[in-house]
Structure 1
């Protein structure tokens, strides 16, 4: 966010407020311990001005040093701020420059602001303390002349050990005689001058313009380097999208309390915020972008704040769009508007000034970003980008408004063409409400057609809309996409098609700003959290101790004193109110049975609850559920039940962070163990004309811009093209395998890796009368080069068979290509620990290569291995989640993966089960923590159809970025990974006395090989490796497989095969191996929290 300053200088006209530029030459001496400052300021007014009014912090006692200049304090009218005093200055004729001096104490401690509750931020007009200082426009620490822009030279004088950061370019920096002297120059005008100070450790990158800085309160080189690299990527991206970065530097500054401020040429982030791993790809680009919008083009607040919505669209939304999550982001924005903007809280976008509440945020950020999204979809990407560039070019370092935006975009459309668009979205409050009516299929002249009416339900005149419509034809998964111009309250449309239409959806991807129907999206906690004066109903029949805990929770509900809940007992109601947002507390609540019966996504029984096909004991945790109010789905009802009422107090602080979810489960320590959302019901904007099992498939959307990756899809494509196409298979003993080995060898040498095997890159031996060869190269560490992290991939595949060639593009040319890409990158870096890049052979024959590699490591070398990261079958991500297997091999993996997910924004799932799926198991058997990354299971596995043209190369770039975060952690200054006790990952097995290595086959009684050539039968289930409940959950079902022809669906959970329990993937695999293709088995499974059975005939794997 950009901190905002509102003040009124009543004796100046609007023209005076904005006209001209004031120059300040400031010399500032700061006393942090005593909250003091002393300032001398030489001020030059704009031409033709010999009289002006400025504001200055009360108590600073300014005095003029220029002869002939008069300085007079003037009284302020009521309604202004209480921080500043106002002064009138009159200069001699022909004089524009005068000098004043002033000083005093400034110390306003940060205070909680109600609208910042969910973000945990506090705000202050300004303060100077021993921890540091923050002096902004709202502090009035320098003479502020209305809304006139300022250029400045700022010299700060601080005690040694402190440093300062301000806008502009640093031109002098020295420490002398116990004082730190710094000079900041801003030759480009700014709308205010902000100065911060503290005890910083400074980091700088000056390889490219602009200079990049990081100022941290504690030394942390790794963190600083991440921010410096991110700064470079985002500045380059936005410079290409909008225009050249407007300043000569950008600095990340760690503040001494929690903030998230975007300031001219720097950002001020709090000590917790700056260390949140997800900030790098969420708030940080938002703050950088503010240097174009808000600090490069200034906001004319009197005409509306266009800036926050545009920044949110081109930062937060753009990040989500690049991750394939744009639809969900848009839906959430619409949902917040529908949930929070109620009861007279609506206002036109033109009237938005700053975020004051959830409702104002839903308009100023949410409605605004949808305004820009609709403008973009109407104009097209290229014209939209051209409009942005024109707006920036013509308004740089000037105040601008929505009117200036309109002028720039009308250069792309023609003058006045956007009049109605801007009027209805900027000047008019409210939002359209859509309905789909009168849907029918006709058959005129032998050609099927569909007719339907689009109705606008909102009060007032119709909006002019471009409504996206999806029309589905019988048997075709990809819909026909149309954009229909709608300008009346009800319009009839007709679409002819060569195939019978079976379904029609209005705005299925949430591309129009509109008020959602409550049935269009599933109930979420945000509806309740955004409620105005919600009703909390407590159980009258609870015990005294439990009742006290419920009452304490209810009283701690809201920090916004203007929106406190109404707290009542269930005994006061004969029925739930229909027109309220309601919270129910406790199983003792009289309305608990009715809520439990109405909630479609959960099944409650005596002492237990099941949702998402997983069962929980109610006494063992705390649960939160959201549902529609049974009396009116426009309102919501929430239920909170707990086995430990004394744990409710921290829940009040946690809940605002979980608004997007429909259900929450917390363990006894109040750690969230399950979060999720309900499935949406039948949307009123979707009509199915006949039963259909079509899963909608929408085309991918290219993001407006994306930061350049460190990794290359084209390089990985060239590796896979060679390994999977030119070699005609990479089976044991085949020439193609030998050629693949030579290819890897040449690349290792070319990257500058050092040989791992006693001066050689290769390790050769024979097994089963076949020659085998491993390859390994090393990037030596900078500090702990005697400690190692292994990045491995097998480069073999299946042998040719009866003239059939098995290209093995995904399995495992993809893993080898990804390993090579990482090797090329890290060869140019110097991580603290050494990295071993290993290419193994013989994986398809039972991990022969990795077993041999581990077996021949000395005991000493084994003790130096921190972890193995194994890459196998990583080329078919296709918008899905990255999968990690064997995360139970160390209790640290879950934290490492979570951090990487936060930083990259990429979804993943992890299985802690001990699955013998690839070479990582050889390291786990030796006591070395190891995981495997893969992109999922597909129908081309171990088939001639596993070809290079099916590889998702952009997905492999995402995997490389994710792996970089993992490797950086493992090879950095973090502690060593340690395996958990042996019994948690498999029974202990015999060890070879000379090396401490587990003997071949060790752990086989617990590590289940998947996939296995011993198991020839298949159901078509693609398992969810992340599932921690009982049974095997289906992530998806392979099309054309046995299960795809049944009622079984993704999300269902298999719990038995022919009556034998399948507690996990291991037991499921074991049971399935008992049967051959063509045999029929009975599966018992949970679907929609109900136990069901089906019979399925197994297919050949």
Structure 2
């Protein structure tokens, strides 16, 4: 968030920033952190000469005026209520006011002052979901933080400031301030630095500490990182990310407004964005997801908040716009924009109750979940609707104009309106801004009277859109999607709705099957409680929730429940009510409730409702997402519907460790978006997730004349046979950071390798060409040979130096391997591998092998190019293997002939095989059971990149990683997914998803950075190599298919379906994605090996019976197998 300061109320009443002049400060500041002291001289130049001024300064600094003929008078204290706190706490009584008399004609004068500033950080009341502490200012041995809210320099009515600041600190301490550092010297045990800001600032912020400094002095702006402990790898991550996001926002909005941007590690947990730097806490900066969430948010504040200032009296437009162009934009780029919008609407519905709503123009800063839901959530939806209405081109033009016209000025919603009306015409946005900025509340929509009519040509669909909210109608542009029978992509119409009830008609030659109003949550509106599955935030934001405790619990358990209730994370005016289950004859219908313990008499009632959402609670375990979670040594939380009225929610808390409930009370507010949580004995989250929308109340419909019409599903109606799930078109993000990896480069390599090279089978000319291409690229990237006594150059081809040559079974084979030597632990290795051979030609026809495995080699090249410009601690080996298609001959030979104890020094292998068909799906990492560290490494990469993946712990012999695992070396294979072109002539380069390969490269970079860093070698593979499932010989030789596409992430018994192929045998049954096949013809199928073995007994046309689990229930289906 942009850091905001406390200002006297009269500044807003009489001196708005927009009309302020610029005051020049020339400050010499001496800091003594051990004593909490500062001493300062400030030579101040006013924009015009005045004989009388009033300024504010921190209490106890005892200012003295050094200008001849001038005098100072301490003014009486402010009356209660005369201080307006833009930040959270008006209790910060930290400043006092002085009257300054000056000789006539004086513009420049000098003040001297000094004293202690020591305000320990304190937590905000009510804002329990964030957990940050705040301080108006602090000088301490750990460091210092001085901002506008500190009043550490003389602050004049409504001033903007330019400054020169010379800091003087004990040696070992460094300072960071806004503007550019123009000098630094260490002398006589002191460090003196000079910071200058020639452009106007709305406050001067200074941080100090014992920092290790890192910098990127390349292009402008200069990028800096100040860490409290040396960490080159972490600093480089932040420098790289900063360059990407600064360039992205400069292209979207306009030039970066300052000469530097710095990340500064604070000495307590904060998330501040101030002019030209950000202050993030020591834990926060080490969370892997911060790089692509909070960090770009704070970078963007240099445009919004610290480039264009906020006129707080007229409302804070800044936080919503920053959230929209940072947090939301990143989610949109990952294809999760609709999820983000739904969460924003959900938070508004959950936290903003009667009496807590207010207009956007009334928002100054986040003080509670309710104020956040308005000032961030409603605000970002306001910008989203404005963008949707104008279109991306005009929306971007409006942003650029707003920035250009208001740079280094204070601006309001009115200024925003003026800029965007340059795109629409003056006055065209009056109604839009008035209803969304000046008024509280939100529209509530319902779909009514849906009817299909038969027409002379085709069909008619009649329906009404109703606004249910009290008060006048909103003027809305409502997206309506109509899906026709057997067509997955719905037709979109944008309907103008200006009345409380309006009728519409849609005509089509094909019969409509489904209508949905705003299914992707593009409108700011109040969600119906049944429109989305229940979440914990509904319960956390509830007004006066009822907590029902089991009277049958032991005294110790009951006491723990009471302790949890006392620690309830609530605003003080919303304390929960506690009742024993024995005191209630039934659960109340009209409120949010919590049930504690399975000994609670209402537990069976709530468990039944959870079963309909997809969780089955038995006597000893819970089954969620078809996974078993024993109650022993676990704590579980579920959000469901109130059994008496699904318009309200009910929560369930189960634990066999009551002493852990106090920890749960602290954790719970951070998990508001989830529907269920499972914690282990140490209170680490082992399973979190949300309910399938199809299992929500809105997904349960009743039959009506024209199909499925449910009055509790206010915005959707299913109108007839409806077997095809809707597929909404992908949307282009407004902007995206430029990756360090290139889709075009990878495409050029894959196209070449998959072209008519006369085949890449053993002995074929194409394999020789591929070999030479790999050697050429290794030379170009400056790799060094890995093999001792590498082969001599042949035909003058220098790439031969990377080769390992041998003969096996009458065939000549050649691996290639080049290295980037490590900078520290260079005798330890990380291997990145891919095979370059493919199937031999058949009857003169060449197998292109684009996905298998030209894609893997292309991705390997891109990673080699990236790391050739960097030197991680460990040596990275890039290996291209021959003979994979003939039983992993190349990788087995590589391992067998390592020599010199090298195998024990390999941290891990990452094998790239068939990585080019991501197509919006999840990356698959096979053999993640080869080290118990893979789970954590992959999770970290997922946090940083925000990309989805699945990890399979099964020991699949699917590619060259198996050779490493057989030798006791941890290894995984990256696989983009299963497709019908595997080992076929149709595996061609134009089908590859090169943008998806860029995402894979971003993900792999995080994995390689960790493995090639200074951490310990990861744990070795457990068990025996004989446990490997022969994937090529077993899984791929069967000739029949059910249509099941397996989930490799599944760890339980059986084969779980990630999806079901359209038109396949399974698609004609009730079997669906997420179900688990447990038996075929009564024979158990505990894993992919046994599943494939059973199918291998059959031929196309055979009929089989499968037994499977669906939402915990055992079902059967009969199907006729088709050819694979």
TM-score range, shorter chain: over 0.9
Match of 2:864 among 799, 819, 823: 823
2:765 matched residue in structure 1: 735
Match of 2:735 among 666, 682, 705: 705
The structural deviation recorded for 1:1011 is: 6.6
Partner of 1:576, secondary structure, is: coil
1:1052 matched residue in structure 2: 1075
> What pairs up with 1:287-302 in 2 under 5 angstroms?
287-302=298-313
2:408 maps to 1:394: no
Partner of 1:342, secondary structure, is: coil
Q: Residues 610 and 131 (structure 1 numbering): CA distance in 2 closer, same or farther, change over 3 Å? A: same
> What pairs up with 1:366-765 in 2 under 5 angstroms?
366-558=377-569, 560-599=571-610, 600=612, 601-680=614-693, 681=696, 682=699, 683-727=713-757, 729-757=759-787, 758-759=789-790, 760-765=801-806
CA RMSD of aligned residues (A): 1.7
The structural deviation recorded for 1:502 is: 1.1
2:798 matched residue in structure 1: none
1:1089 matched residue in structure 2: 1112
2:93 maps to 1:86: no
Partner of 1:726, secondary structure, is: coil
The structural deviation recorded for 1:730 is: 2.4
CA contact (8 A) 2:1102 2:1120 kept: yes
Return 365-374 or 1013-1022, whichever deviates more: 1013-1022
2:971 matched residue in structure 1: 930
Partner of 1:914, secondary structure, is: coil
CA contact (8 A) 2:761 2:838 kept: yes
2:33 maps to 1:32: yes
How far apart, in 2, do the equivalents of 1:175 and 1:1029 lie? 62
How far apart, in 1, do the equivalents of 2:616 and 2:827 lie? 55
1:7 matched residue in structure 2: 7
1:1017 matched residue in structure 2: 1040
2:248 maps to 1:248: no
1:43 matched residue in structure 2: 44
CA contact (8 A) 1:938 1:1038 kept: no
How far apart, in 2, do the equivalents of 1:63 and 1:1005 lie? 81
Q: Residues 71 and 934 (structure 1 numbering): CA distance in 2 closer, same or farther, change over 3 Å? A: same
How far apart, in 2, do the equivalents of 1:610 and 1:970 lie? 35
The structural deviation recorded for 1:351 is: 0.3
1:210 matched residue in structure 2: 221
How far apart, in 1, do the equivalents of 2:11 and 2:883 lie? 85
The structural deviation recorded for 1:894 is: 1.4
The structural deviation recorded for 1:1005 is: 5.9
How far apart, in 1, do the equivalents of 2:1063 and 2:836 lie? 30
How far apart, in 2, do the equivalents of 1:561 and 1:121 lie? 18
How far apart, in 2, do the equivalents of 1:778 and 1:1080 lie? 53
2:927 matched residue in structure 1: 886
CA contact (8 A) 1:26 1:154 kept: yes
How far apart, in 1, do the equivalents of 2:1026 and 2:842 lie? 32
How far apart, in 2, do the equivalents of 1:389 and 1:11 lie? 29
How far apart, in 2, do the equivalents of 1:769 and 1:1082 lie? 46
Match of 2:820 among 779, 783, 788: 779
1:1036 matched residue in structure 2: 1059
How far apart, in 2, do the equivalents of 1:548 and 1:660 lie? 28
Q: Residues 126 and 15 (structure 1 numbering): CA distance in 2 closer, same or farther, change over 3 Å? A: closer
How far apart, in 1, do the equivalents of 2:676 and 2:992 lie? 36
Partner of 2:1026, secondary structure, is: coil
Partner of 2:510, secondary structure, is: coil
1:77 matched residue in structure 2: 79
Q: What is the CA deviation profile of residues 413-470 of structure 1, one whole-angstrom value per residue up to 9, with x for unaligned ones?
A: 1110111010010011111111111111222222222121111111111111111111
How far apart, in 2, do the equivalents of 1:803 and 1:678 lie? 53
How far apart, in 2, do the equivalents of 1:1068 and 1:552 lie? 50
Partner of 1:749, secondary structure, is: helix
Partner of 2:35, secondary structure, is: coil
How far apart, in 1, do the equivalents of 2:128 and 2:889 lie? 57
Return 467-476 or 627-636, whichever deviates more: 627-636
Partner of 1:916, secondary structure, is: coil
Partner of 1:117, secondary structure, is: coil
Any unmatched runs of 5+ in structure 1?
A: 988-1001
CA contact (8 A) 1:116 1:122 kept: no
Return 398-407 or 1039-1048, whichever deviates more: 1039-1048
1:848 matched residue in structure 2: 889
CA contact (8 A) 2:540 2:570 kept: no
Q: What is the CA deviation profile of residues 527-565 of structure 1, one whole-angstrom value per residue up to 9, with x for unaligned ones?
A: 011223322111112111111111111111226433322
CA contact (8 A) 2:445 2:466 kept: yes
Partner of 2:664, secondary structure, is: helix
2:875 matched residue in structure 1: 834
Match of 1:173 among 184, 194, 198: 184
Q: Residues 13 and 1049 (structure 1 numbering): CA distance in 2 closer, same or farther, change over 3 Å? A: closer
1:282 matched residue in structure 2: 293
Q: Residues 1007 and 445 (structure 1 numbering): CA distance in 2 closer, same or farther, change over 3 Å? A: closer
Return 803-812 or 278-287, whichever deviates more: 803-812
How far apart, in 2, do the equivalents of 1:477 and 1:1006 lie? 37
> What pairs up with 1:176-191 in 2 under 5 angstroms?
176-191=187-202
The structural deviation recorded for 1:814 is: 1.0
Partner of 2:623, secondary structure, is: strand
How far apart, in 2, do the equivalents of 1:1044 and 1:1030 lie? 22
Q: What is the CA deviation profile of residues 800-844 of structure 1, one whole-angstrom value per residue up to 9, with x for unaligned ones?
A: 334554322211111111111111222222222222111112212
TM-score of the aligned structures, taking structure 2 as reference length: 0.94
The structural deviation recorded for 1:1078 is: 3.0
Q: Residues 392 and 955 (structure 1 numbering): CA distance in 2 closer, same or farther, change over 3 Å? A: same
How far apart, in 1, do the equivalents of 2:8 and 2:826 lie? 63
Return 663-672 or 272-281, whichever deviates more: 663-672
How far apart, in 2, do the equivalents of 1:804 and 1:1093 lie? 43
CA contact (8 A) 1:53 1:86 kept: yes
How far apart, in 2, do the equivalents of 1:229 and 1:799 lie? 43
The structural deviation recorded for 1:411 is: 0.4
1:315 matched residue in structure 2: 326
The structural deviation recorded for 1:408 is: 0.3
TM-score of the aligned structures, taking structure 1 as reference length: 0.96
CA contact (8 A) 2:757 2:769 kept: yes
Any unmatched runs of 5+ in structure 2?
A: 84-91, 700-712, 791-800
Q: Residues 813 and 88 (structure 1 numbering): CA distance in 2 closer, same or farther, change over 3 Å? A: same
2:811 maps to 1:811: no
How far apart, in 2, do the equivalents of 1:783 and 1:800 lie? 46
CA contact (8 A) 1:883 1:936 kept: yes
Q: What is the CA deviation profile of residues 904-945 of structure 1, one whole-angstrom value per residue up to 9, with x for unaligned ones?
A: 111111112211111100011011111101111122222222
Return 454-463 or 398-407, whichever deviates more: 454-463
1:993 matched residue in structure 2: none
CA contact (8 A) 2:924 2:950 kept: yes
Q: What is the CA deviation profile of residues 939-979 of structure 1, one whole-angstrom value per residue up to 9, with x for unaligned ones?
A: 22222222222211111000001111111111121211231
CA contact (8 A) 1:728 1:807 kept: no
1:992 matched residue in structure 2: none
CA contact (8 A) 1:439 1:453 kept: yes
How far apart, in 1, do the equivalents of 2:1077 and 2:53 lie? 78
Match of 2:240 among 207, 221, 229: 229
Q: Residues 801 and 58 (structure 1 numbering): CA distance in 2 closer, same or farther, change over 3 Å? A: same
The structural deviation recorded for 1:1090 is: 0.7
The structural deviation recorded for 1:205 is: 1.3
Q: Residues 1006 and 501 (structure 1 numbering): CA distance in 2 closer, same or farther, change over 3 Å? A: closer
2:908 maps to 1:897: no
> What pairs up with 1:107-126 in 2 under 5 angstroms?
107-126=118-137
The structural deviation recorded for 1:1064 is: 2.5
Aligned length: 1083
2:987 maps to 1:946: yes
